[in-house]
Amino acid sequence: MSIASLRARLPGFAKDVSLNLSSLVEDDTLTAQQKYGLLVACGHATRNPEVAAAMEGEAAGHLTPAALDAARAAATIMAMNNVYYRFVHLASNAEYRTMPARLRMSVIGKPGVDKADFELWSLAVSALNGCGMCIDSHEKVLREADVSSATIQTAVRYAAVIQSVAMALEVAGAPVAVAAE
């Protein structure tokens, strides 16, 4: 599956989403590894198998096996971290902030690809999952690595567009309620 086939499945009410998805494919502001890693990580983070398959299909031939695994790892590890750290951030009981997470996350330290690229993918997935604490943490690491605000904003735009594709497909497939007469 490819992004072109995914776009063909988007309903008419999602024209803007389709056009935004097309603009991601044409985007040349990121490196190939950043771009295709974002597609894969965010595609999996939507939890929509069709979107994930299309993003992986688009990335085929553009990512090394190590980069593909790292993008998948970013989606996977952030699925865990975003739940945990969002809880720590939102819980009224401050004691949780002093407790060790006791979660294994060594892939963040040794992702198998450029650390800044992995952090960019992790930030985008964290934005998609709505974890402010993780967003701040990854953004700080990216800024320390001299990644520009424009690149960071672009990564979050990828997350937003890919999430909206998954939503459009879900809405199009949802049963329509019939009003009682």
Residue positions annotated with a catalytic role? 131, 134
Helix then strand then coil, in percent of the chain rounded to 5, is: 75, 0, 25
CA angle, 174 as apex, 127 and 51 as ends, to 5°? Answer: 45
Contact indicator for 40, 71 with CB cutoff of 8 Å: yes
State the Cα–Cα distance between residues 36 and 15, nearest whole angstrom: 23
Q: What's the token pair of residue 99?
A: 């407790």
Q: Which two tokens stand for residue 73?
A: 């790892």
Task: Report the distance separating Cα 170 and Cα 146, nearest Å.
Answer: 38
Contact 130, 113 (CB under 8 A): no
* Extended strands (E) in 52-156: none
- What single DSSP character describes residue 76? H
Provide the 8-state DSSP code for 1: -
